[in-house]
Every structure is written in structure tokens, then in C-alpha cells.
Copies of this chain bind each other. A is one copy, B any other.
């Protein structure tokens, strides 16, 4: 009987549904205060932001760049090159799609009846 070798430290995504993995991926992006702060700032400014994210958040430039990369890979933000600087803003279409997925998860308690215990 062949047994799948478990790789320690790595989440076993294979045993979960696509939806479960997708929810987890998005939640992970929100799982760091710097990324929360970046998104809040982009919404507040409400236009492309070129550069001043490093000044706004108190982290070094490579660190901010890394956080932006993760948000961009998930499709939550867009980045447009503008001369020497790069302008970032929220990807509103994807944000709405993301919200729908997360809200379905968060609103599970609406469908559930009053529990019979606890």
C-alpha cells in the first residue's frame, strides 16, 4: 500500500476543495497588517498611487515591494508603469468577485438554524 509522503510545513491543499483553497489564499493576503494598510490607503486615495506607499507605511522599500507583489499576483491590485515610477490601484472588478466569495463563506450563519446545543 503506497502512502503519500507528507511534506512537513506545507499545507496539504490536495485534500481540500478548490473553493476552500481559494478562500484560504485570499484570507492569507489579508493576514498581514501591512497588506491591510496598503489596501486601505489605495481605497482612501482612490486613484493610482505612485511611490508614496513607502512613506505612508513604515516599512522599507523592498518589503513594501514584496507585499505589493503578492497583492498583484492575487489580482487585488493593478500596477501601471509611469516613467520611473509605478502607479498602483485597486482592481475593482476582481475586488467585487473576491467579496462575493468571502461573503458566501462569512454568511454561512444565516442559513444555519438555531443550534441545538452550546
**Residues of chain A at the chain B interface (Cβ within 8 Å):** 11-13, 15-17, 20-21, 23-24, 27-37, 39-40, 43, 46-48, 57-59, 78, 80, 87, 89-90, 92, 95-96, 99, 102-103, 105-109, 111-113, 115-118
Contact = CB atoms under 8 A, between A and B. Distances in A.
B105 A103 contact: no
A1 B107 CA distance: 50
Contacts of A21: 33
Among A33, A35, A92, A112, residue most surrounded by chain B Cβ atoms (within 10 Å): A33
B59 A32 contact: no
**Copies of this subunit:** 2
Nearest to A111: B43
Contacts of A20: 33, 36-37, 40
Contacts of A23: 30, 33, 36
Nearest to A117: B48
Given A43-B112, A117-B48, A118-B78, A24 B33 contact: yes
